[in-house]
């Protein structure tokens, strides 16, 4: 059995992500590579740690690209609940841009609520969407991403020590 690489990779569902600059800063501080995935061209900083991926304009192309690659020890940044569900199932850590983690324990209920709200909106019962992104969301996200990277790096270091020992 091969152990995962020592460094996690961050996959960013980038089309509507409001925290891309924050991701780049935290990733650079930790030396973590980032794949910025969008349907088409998206501008990213010139940095060897940052990979730009234009997944194509097909429905869910970016989501599929991320879900096919993200796995245990990787981090996915998305507000897309179906994509979050797919990535949680592969063992990836998934964080929403507001800092909320999607976990095995929470994703089922989150997906059910999302589907209910979609049905209520299509029936005209609810006309509003989610609340606006606020400065406290940015702060919560930065904290969540930093903690997740540190936790994964600690876990991988412990696994490597166990394999060597």
Q: What are the structural domain ranges in the chain?
A: 10-164
Interatomic CA distance for residues 52 and 20, integer angstroms: 12
Express each pLDDT in 6-63 by its tens digit: 578 999 999 889 999 999 999 999 999 999 999 988 899 999 999 999 999 898 999 9
Mean pLDDT of 114-123: 66
Worst-scoring range by mean pLDDT, 96-100, 103-107, 120-124, 130-134? 120-124
Look at residue 15 in the predicted model and tell me its pLDDT: 83
Look at residue 1 in the predicted model and tell me its pLDDT: 41
Q: Which two tokens stand for residue 35?
A: 């794949």
CB 81 within 8 A of CB 71: no
- The residues with which 13 forms a beta bridge, in sequence order, are 37
Interatomic CA distance for residues 48 and 33, integer angstroms: 8
Whole-model pTM: value is 0.83
Mean pLDDT of the residues in the chain = 87
pLDDT band at residue 128 using 50, 70 and 90 as cut-offs: low
Mean pLDDT of 135-157: 93
Interatomic CA distance for residues 42 and 10, integer angstroms: 16
Q: Which two tokens stand for residue 54?
A: 């234009």
Q: Which two tokens stand for residue 55?
A: 């997944």
């Amino acid at each position: 059995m091969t152990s995962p690489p020592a460094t996690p990779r961050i996959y960013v569902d980038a089309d509507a992500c409001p925290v891309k600059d924050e991701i780049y800063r935290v990733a650079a501080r930790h030396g973590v590579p980032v794949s910025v995935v969008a349907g088409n061209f998206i501008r990213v900083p010139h940095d060897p740690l940052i990979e730009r991926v234009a997944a194509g304009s097909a429905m869910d192309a970016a989501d599929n690209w991320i879900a096919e690659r993200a796995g245990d020890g990787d981090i996915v940044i998305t507000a897309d609940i179906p994509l979050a569900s797919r990535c949680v199932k592969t063992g990836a850590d998934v964080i929403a841009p507001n800092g909320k983690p999607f976990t095995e324990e929470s994703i089922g209920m989150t997906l059910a609520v999302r589907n209910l709200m979609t049905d209520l909106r299509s029936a005209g019962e609810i006309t509003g969407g989610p609340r606006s992104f606020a400065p406290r969301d940015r702060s919560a996200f930065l904290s969540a991403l930093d903690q997740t990277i540190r936790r994964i790096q600690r876990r991988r270091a412990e696994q490597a020590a166990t394999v060597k020992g």
